[in-house]
């Protein structure tokens, strides 16, 4: 987890460039302190790639502990909602649409399709029954009306 946001890192880069070009009498450390004083609020970048699929949000809580390590009091500091997951199409979306098109004109659409059982396999077989379009390395192709 980064302590600074990408925006803050860019601000620091610009602050450094401005300080360098201005030839100010103030030290670079003083310039950074001035920048830091302008920052407000808690800056947290939640790494959603490490969150369980069921997580809909993350929260930061502060808990005060006594000398025995027991919770004495706590408060909620921040809550972050999980951003929407990017929509990715089904790997067989185009073939599913073709299957639906064939199914609209015949009761046994699978007869117009062939399948391989491994993504590296070039051995195509006739489909024995309805296609399920599994995402486990199988490939499908439309061969046209062969009956």
**Claim to verify: residue 37 and residue 58 sit in the same structural domain:** no
Domains in the chain, number: 3
> What does DSSP assign to residue 36?
H
- Torsions phi, psi for 109 (to 5 deg): -60, -25
Is position 147 within any domain? no
**Claim to verify: residue 98 and residue 135 sit in the same structural domain:** yes
Q: From 98, 90, 81, select the one nearest 145 (Cα to Cα).
A: 98
**Claim to verify: residue 18 and residue 28 sit in the same structural domain:** yes
pLDDT tens by residue, 1-28: 566 778 888 888 888 888 888 876 778 8
**Claim to verify: residue 79 and residue 51 sit in the same structural domain:** yes
Can you give the residue range of the structural domain that contains 8?
1-45
Is position 133 within any domain? yes
Q: How confident is the model at residue 97 (pLDDT cuts 50, 70, 90)?
A: very high
pTM over 0.75: no
pLDDT tens by residue, 29-88: 888 878 777 776 666 778 888 888 888 988 888 888 888 888 777 777 778 888 888 788
Residue at which a domain ends, from 60, 84, 108: 84
């Amino acid at each position: 987890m980064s302590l600074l946001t990408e925006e803050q890192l860019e601000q620091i880069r610009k602050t450094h460039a401005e300080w360098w070009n201005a030839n100010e009498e103030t030290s670079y450390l003083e310039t950074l302190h001035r920048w830091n004083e302008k920052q407000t609020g808690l800056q947290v970048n939640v790494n959603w790639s490490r969150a369980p699929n069921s997580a809909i949000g993350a929260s930061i809580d502060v808990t005060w502990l006594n000398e025995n390590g027991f919770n004495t009091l706590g408060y909620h500091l921040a809550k972050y909602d999980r951003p929407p997951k990017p929509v990715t199409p089904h790997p067989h979306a185009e073939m599913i649409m073709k299957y639906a098109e064939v199914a609209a004109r015949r009761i046994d659409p699978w007869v117009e399709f062939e399948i391989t059982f491994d993504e590296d396999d070039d051995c195509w077989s006739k489909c024995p029954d309805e296609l399920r379009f599994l995402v486990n390395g199988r490939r499908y192709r439309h061969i046209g009306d062969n009956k």
